[in-house]
Amino acid sequence: MPNTIGPYRITGTLGEGGMGVVYAGHDDRLDRPVAIKTVRTTGVGPEATERLKREARVAASLNHPNVCQLYEIGEDSSGLYIAMELLEGEALSTRIGRSALPVQEALEIVRGMLSALAAMHRRGIVHRDLKPSNIFLTEHGVKLLDFGLARPVMDHPEETLLTAPGVVCGTPHYMSPEQAQGRSADPRSDIFAVGAMLYEMLSGRQAFTGLAAVQVLHAVMYDHPPVLTGSPAIVAADRMIHRALAKQPADRYQTAEQLADDLRTIPTPSTGTEVVQARPVTRLIVLPFRVLRPDHDVDFLSFSLADAITTSLSGLGSVVVRSSLAAAKYATEVPDLQKIAREADVDEVLSGTLLRAGDRVRVSTQLAGAPDGRMIWSQMFDVGWGDIFQLQDSIVRTVVDALAIPLSARERRQLGSDVPTSDKAYEHYLRAVELSNDAPNWVAARDLYLQCLELDPRYAPAWAQLGRVYLLMSKYSDSERTANQVRAEDAFARALEISPDLAIAHSHYALLEVDLGRAVGSMARLLGQARQRPADPNLFKGLCHTCRYCGLLDASVAAHDRSRRLDPKIVTSVVHTWFLKGDHERVAEVARMAPYIGALSLVALGRQDEAIVMLREMESKVSPRMISFLRVSRSYIEGRAADSLVLLKQATANFGDPEAFYYAGRHFAHLGEIDLAIASLARAVDGGYFCYPVLANDIWLESLRGQPAFEDIVQRAGDRHRTALKAFLDAEGDRLLGVRG
């Protein structure tokens, strides 16, 4: 260690890296401590000296309380150095190393970072290497350090040689996707790094991980960190982190000020410090169990036992379980954990085998990490055939213990209550689960659920699944529509009476409630459940649907975004919301999911021929009730307005969905059928679909403007929409979803 560097007396070493050394020193002239950054004289190229000069220029150009102050740049016999403010405190990396941070502490740090970045970005400078070791925490606030990779958004000619095109610069864990690909960085790249650091501060773990740098970079470009759960403040922060970490720069916050403004809306904890820390959600998939020896009496357990375990775990607030349908594609395979982790976006895989020997069933289960394949636990269960109903509960509790999943008092009660008391009842239930996913088997599934409930009338999941079957029969069967709706509602009510927090009952019930004109109550109920279980994607899927019926289109999209963040494979009804918002590009990307409006969006984009081909293909793939609606669209696009009108009149005879009446009404209006349009729109609004912003602005309804009957419909929709907005705000939907409605 030298005694002096330039005019400074050296008192110690603060840090050392591959490019140089940082010393502690003292300026005897002004009697103040300093930090002195130097460049090694051997083993490094000339770019190290140039970067130190650039760091000095950037730091000198910034006068901000959250930027480490530069005193001077100089050179002596040992080489180039810069003298700067000596900070007292610790690096953010040291603070995170001790524990995750309470929400308010983390937000205070981020606000300081963003204030400094806003000043940098206004001067056209991008930091490019933000990371916890470059953020220093002092008694007086945050200080940004190390501007060696900082550069103007548009390079000066002398600086372009320091970073050749296509060269990756930065630290992999905090690098934006565009930097990882060797593309140029802009202020949104720094925002990505801030999002990654906020995630790490709250969770105590890095957002993007890997055993080697190339794996980390792959995660940065393609993976999404697990959702954070905890208090309302944590849920709100997670939503903002997700936007900051968007893969495409256009989808992120565009400025540091935008992110700072959004952070100010996070609810302040009722106490001075946030005691509930964030927890990354565990993403789990339960694979169908492999039957080792074909056995007709046991085969049904392969799918249905896995589904029952999935249903039990899905009610827990800090675990997201992929659906049984998503898991079914891996039924015949020896688990390929890397493939499953990539395709299903999960952290853990539960798999197992079944073997019956006489009157006993042997179940071998394994819980493994994905994609690395680490074994978390493995256990054998050997039960008598009459005790198979105990398997679900035993396996679920073992998973909870193995993953150290924290359970609330409500969740403990839930796990204990949703277990059947009869082995025969459970067998009926599991056989019904296997049948209920295929329409031709709905009646058989219904009968098995009823037999289950005769033996165990307090088994809530059976009531919920029975309600689902009745709901499907009411929507897609031509007979007993109303009667099946009544039966479905009774079944859901019984399920929730027995088990008020049963997740599958809430999510399925919402689909029935909107058809019965009760979208506002359904939305409020789902928001209440989502506050308790912010990691349940099905609750947000339901909110996507109910919010749209209430005319809360931004909330509908936000609910979809949250649902997909929790489960990237989940399918919501957001395509209809995009259509109503005029986002035809997004609708066109998934046109086959909703072919009637998908075709109209393609037409709006000038792709008529593509729309016609798509409609012809889809006519062979949809239910008979939907075919007529597709032909309405195709005949209109092909210029056969008269045929389109005839087909539309025929199609509306079978309608029961209020949203379908809205589509019919706007189509009638576009074809000039005023009376039919008004009648259909009245049925939509009175049936519970009161999407006021669209009724007030849809250009296909222009022929109705000024008609007293239509204006009365719009007035009724507006009144109900305002009631819905109040209910949304009263239920704190704005805090949960980050929108006003």
As annotated, the active-site residues are 129
Number of residues that make up the chain: 741
Phi, psi torsion values for 177, nearest 5 degrees: -55, -35
* Contact assessment for residue 674 and residue 707, using Cβ atoms and an 8 Å cutoff: yes
Q: How far apart are CA 613 and CA 542, in angstroms?
A: 32
Which DSSP state fits 572? Answer: -
Tally of CA atoms within 13 A in the half-sphere of 602 that contains its CB: 23
What tokens appear for 94 in the block? 């040291």
C-alpha gyration radius of the chain: 30
Which DSSP state fits 279? Answer: E
What tokens appear for 492 in the block? 């859901």
Q: How far apart are CA 637 and CA 596, in angstroms?
A: 11
With residue 72 as reference, give the H or E element that holds it.
strand 70-76
Any residues with CB less than 8 A from the CB of 415 and at least 6 apart, and which? 312, 315, 393, 396, 397, 400, 407
With residue 349 as reference, give the H or E element that holds it.
strand 348-357
What tokens appear for 385 in the block? 């055939």
* Contact assessment for residue 202 and residue 277, using Cβ atoms and an 8 Å cutoff: yes
* Contact assessment for residue 733 and residue 555, using Cβ atoms and an 8 Å cutoff: yes
Distance of CA 637 to the CA centre of its chain: 36
Token pair 């309380």 is found at: 65
**Sheet containing 21-27: which strands, arranged edge to edge?**
4-5, 8-16, 21-27, 32-38, 79-85, 70-76
Which neighbouring-strand residues pair with 84?
35, 70
Tally of CA atoms within 13 A in the half-sphere of 396 that contains its CB: 28
With residue 367 as reference, give the H or E element that holds it.
strand 360-369
